[in-house]
Chains A and B, each alone.
Chain A
């Protein structure tokens, strides 16, 4: 027991825990009152109001806890009574190698440990050169560091001021007087983006739909934003010359927002949302901490019982024969208008559609991406292919009329194995040039030079067919 006490006290002596005035308290965030404005294209504007203790006159201030991917060229610092002398973004990083390089010509402490006894010897060494290995002078001897493989600690007296643990933004400024004052730091950063995610529960029997909208924001910027007031802008701000990604850690950026899709008719109504220029704004209702590598979702839309209907579409690209009947697309049609729809503008995102099964449990029945959709739009989303409704296109006859003129007779057979009658919008594309329909079994609408459409009613558990003769000139 005595031996144990002795041993413990010996160890305590060997490892003196001295009072260390130079060691500061563990870090907290240096961020102040922070406001984050996030755009769709993986870009954000950060506004950080900090309280700085400034001496009168010129001083250099470092800003910690800014985005690890900060675009330094976009930094602005504002405050009453201060003038900017210069702004620096230092990325000379503190590392063992950099520490040794900067110690050339200086003296360090070398603590050698005897491998057999564990005894330590302490010497001062003058670093002569760091080229491939460390050459140093100890007394009147010239040695290479750890050339003999014997354990040796190198203790540096100080860290050069220019070396930093992380890339650091510093501003040299002129203050008109000393004291604590608020300053506002603003900058742009990539690594923050957002999109919308919608959950649509479709009640096919009653032609109704419940829709919830969630804002999904993602932070891959390498820095948390503590207790931030967050504003989301539905739109992509211009990004001249591409993204600036100094601190990219191998993360792919979120994909760019897709082109508008599935909108039959863009709306002309103004949504009751906050606006800024061309963009709608979606402020988050409460301050929130956006942690690094976090995906955060906040509700922004909750609409019940909006009218919705199921439609069917089939697009045939060219006058060709299909080997097998092909399923038509099942299309969910609804409106974003105030009078008969969701009554809101829809920011770009993915709409996931659910339907209840025979036991009443919601099941996923497909999803579709939409672009920014104005209020009042007519929307049709292809959520999947219908198992029971198919179209087969067949070239029945192709006749050469002259060297540049052909006649093609097409037959489209539409089959419906479901117990309800359906109407299929049958599109024939590839008519660009001078292609006319000279004969058809059902009246078509020529939607454009390239495309025509038949609206074909197919009876329950039945079949319908359309024939048409196309006159093509080349």
Chain B
């Protein structure tokens, strides 16, 4: 802050005009609904770049004077989409909604003072004596030119300690972009006003934790609802919801406000010597620039797996909202700034699953391990039968009393009744090799599966619709010819076919 120390009288912004300024510093009650990034697909949550959004509804008690006044809402998120703001509770009194993004910064302060009388203060480096005199700012575009009683001078081209002092903050400059409404009321009123708006930089997902039984046929499924707030405004004691499903979003450009530094340029200052002097650098940009975004959140540790015997978790409640699903956290929670929060989403003690190994081929040489896929159906009969929001699955098993991670997979949104297939790992112990025969050898392809595990494995190979075998039976399933085979323990299986 060497460049300019500016003394500002606070609260002077409310000076001009017949319009009273009423400031509502913070919401009294708060509700937030978090929406998933519709374009994230199955990618993990990136805490430094959250592409989802949230609907924030705030209730504020405000008292308005009679006549025209400007009601300012402070403490809204910085990712607000101002076009989406809805103010209810004031009825016909609202004339217009405004959002001002002219920010108070050293550069903006000087720009707004162009032609105005400020105080120029010089401090002697030798004696410490302070001298002040009046000065008018004449130019700020490319270096600062001042008019004083002596004549015209350039600020900070002299080598002296000098600075400009302003008597007040020029009207219309604020610390953050400010949302306000202009209202007109015939008499003084006190009302509960609801402000709701959409804000960017939120996201959520489901984090599933599955414990596979020893025989691999049932899964104990638990899920976290993981909410993330990347905004620098926290939402305290908020009624919190999350919406599962993909909603259409339109891109809008939102001005973040302009944080302008002071540009101090002087005339050419070449000298005859190359001895370094204590001359100030001529351009002192960027010292005052305000960094609007870019702070980082440390990635949190992975969610702790729940202890098996635990009970009485706070569980999110699910309901239908139009064509999507709403999850409601039954207690008020604080969604702090730049943080992630988890509450229990669902708990299904015994889900019937089938583990198969799978490969899809279009013909052509293959030399690779198979993929392990967990298959179930989202029905009550299988121990599920509830909506499954998109998210990540961590699959565990128990070996000699210790939990081991078997694999990780991702789940898209699945509704009730759907088949659920989650690819969880690569099965390196079961290998597929496919070779092509030349026409002299009869043509076609040969697929060999080898299993070095001490247990038989169910394998599903998806072949093109045109595949034909010598005698092995293929079934048609979902647009593919399926070869379903059980590869014996420490054994092989072979298929010859042509396409």
Q: Taking A27-B116, A383-B248, A390-B418 as contacts, is the C-beta distance between A95 and B145 under 8 angstroms?
A: yes
**Closest partner residue, chain B, to A382 (CB atom):** B248
In the complex the two chains form, what is the Cα distance from A114 to B271 in whole Å?
A: 19
A99 & B465 in contact (Cβ 8 Å cutoff) = no
Residues 252-296 of chain A, each 1 if its beta carbon lies under 8 Å from chain B, else 0:
101100000000000000000000000000000010100111111
The stretch from A47-55, A77-85, A125-133, A178-186 touching chain B is A125-133
A95 & B243 in contact (Cβ 8 Å cutoff) = no
In the complex the two chains form, what is the Cα distance from A288 to B413 in whole Å?
A: 48
Contact of B267 among A96, A321, A365 (CB under 8 A): A96
Interface of chain B residues 244 through 277 with chain A (CB within 8 A) = 244-253, 255, 257-258, 265-273, 277
Contact of B101 among A293, A310, A363, A395 (CB under 8 A): A293
B140 & A152 in contact (Cβ 8 Å cutoff) = no
Does A448 have its Cβ within 8 Å of any Cβ on chain B?
Answer: no
Does A172 have its Cβ within 8 Å of any Cβ on chain B?
Answer: no
B115 & A26 in contact (Cβ 8 Å cutoff) = yes
Interface of chain B residues 150 through 165 with chain A (CB within 8 A) = 150-154, 157-160
B141 & A166 in contact (Cβ 8 Å cutoff) = yes
What A residues does B272 contact at CB under 8 A? Answer: 144, 147
In the complex the two chains form, what is the Cα distance from A438 to B43 in whole Å?
A: 42
**Closest partner residue, chain A, to B140 (CB atom):** A165
What A residues does B99 contact at CB under 8 A? Answer: 294-296
Does A204 have its Cβ within 8 Å of any Cβ on chain B?
Answer: yes
B100 & A294 in contact (Cβ 8 Å cutoff) = yes
What A residues does B324 contact at CB under 8 A? Answer: 365, 384, 386-387
Q: Taking A149-B159, A367-B250 as contacts, is the C-beta distance between A291 and B172 under 8 angstroms?
A: yes
B134 & A396 in contact (Cβ 8 Å cutoff) = no
Contact of B96 among A16, A100, A297, A365 (CB under 8 A): A297
A146 & B245 in contact (Cβ 8 Å cutoff) = no
B31 & A361 in contact (Cβ 8 Å cutoff) = yes
The stretch from B315-323, B362-370, B398-406 touching chain A is B315-323
In the complex the two chains form, what is the Cα distance from A146 to B476 in whole Å?
A: 90
What B residues does A163 contact at CB under 8 A? Answer: 139
What B residues does A466 contact at CB under 8 A? Answer: none
Does B279 have its Cβ within 8 Å of any Cβ on chain A?
Answer: yes
A294 & B139 in contact (Cβ 8 Å cutoff) = no
Q: Taking A95-B265, A197-B83 as contacts, is the C-beta distance between A146 and B271 under 8 angstroms?
A: yes
In the complex the two chains form, what is the Cα distance from A386 to B247 in whole Å?
A: 9
What B residues does A147 contact at CB under 8 A? Answer: 271-273
**Closest partner residue, chain B, to A17 (CB atom):** B134
In the complex the two chains form, what is the Cα distance from A299 to B154 in whole Å?
A: 48
Q: By the criterion of a CB under 8 Å from any partner CB, how many residues of chain A are at the interface? A: 116
The stretch from A32-40, A352-360, A428-436, A449-457 touching chain B is A352-360
Does A473 have its Cβ within 8 Å of any Cβ on chain B?
Answer: no
Q: Taking A132-B270, A159-B145, A350-B83 as contacts, is the C-beta distance between A387 and B159 under 8 angstroms?
A: no
The stretch from B119-127, B215-223, B285-293, B427-435 touching chain A is B119-127
A384 & B246 in contact (Cβ 8 Å cutoff) = yes
What A residues does B466 contact at CB under 8 A? Answer: 398
Q: Taking A330-B322, A417-B417 as contacts, is the C-beta distance between A398 and B130 under 8 angstroms?
A: no
Residues 138-152 of chain B, each 1 if its beta carbon lies under 8 Å from chain A, else 0:
111111110111111
Seed contacts A113-B126, A197-B83; 18 additional CB < 8 Å A-B pairs = A93-B141, A95-B143, A99-B152, A115-B126, A147-B271, A153-B158, A154-B157, A159-B152, A166-B141, A291-B102, A297-B98, A363-B33, A366-B248, A383-B248, A388-B416, A394-B479, A415-B415, A417-B418
A residues contacting B by CB (< 8 A) are 11, 14-18, 20, 22-24, 26-27, 93-101, 109, 113-118, 130-134, 144-147, 149-159, 163, 165-166, 195, 197, 199, 202, 204, 214, 216, 218, 220, 224, 249, 251-252, 254-255, 286, 288, 291-299, 310, 321, 324-325, 327, 330, 350, 352, 355, 357-358, 361-369, 382-390, 392, 394-398, 415, 417-418, 461
B residues contacting A by CB (< 8 A) are 31, 33, 35, 38, 55, 57, 82-86, 94-102, 114-117, 124-127, 129-134, 136, 138-145, 147-154, 157-160, 172, 196, 198, 241, 243-253, 255, 257-258, 265-273, 277-279, 319-326, 328, 387, 412-413, 415-418, 465-466, 476, 478-480
The 16 listed contacts between A and B (C-beta, < 8 Å) are A16-B149, A95-B139, A101-B267, A152-B159, A297-B83, A327-B245, A357-B326, A363-B33, A383-B247, A384-B245, A386-B324, A387-B244, A387-B324, A398-B466, A415-B415, A417-B417
Nearest first, the 5 A-B pairs at minimum CB distance are: A133-B270, A149-B277, A321-B479, A96-B154, A384-B247
